[in-house]
């Protein structure tokens, strides 16, 4: 789980952690998966980072990020 206390969000530590995770996964050529509540504002961030909804009927909602194409 990743959570950032509201008072500690200055400087986008959650975004930095997510970017670090996806960089490591990309370097290892591994996909990423996560689950998020549908009303969580972070959902938009995850979509910008390349995560896609896999089943919008589940709560929490699973998301998946494929291995980016080489090139």
Each residue's pLDDT tens digit, 9-55: 899 999 999 999 999 999 999 999 999 999 998 999 999 999 999 99
Global pTM reads: 0.88
* CB 17, CB 45: distance < 8 Å: no
pLDDT tier, 59 (very low <50, low <70, confident <90, very high otherwise): very high
CA dihedral 32, 34, 39, 40 (to 10 degrees): -80
Helices first, then strands: H and E counts in the chain:
2, 3
Across-strand partners of 64? 33, 52
């Amino acid at each position: 789980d990743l959570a950032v206390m509201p008072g500690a969000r200055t400087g986008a530590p959650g975004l930095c952690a997510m970017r670090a995770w996806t960089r490591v996964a990309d370097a290892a050529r591994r996909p990423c998966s996560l689950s998020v509540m549908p009303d969580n504002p972070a959902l938009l961030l995850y979509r910008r980072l390349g995560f896609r909804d896999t089943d919008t009927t589940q709560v929490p909602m699973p998301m998946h990020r494929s291995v980016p194409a080489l090139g």
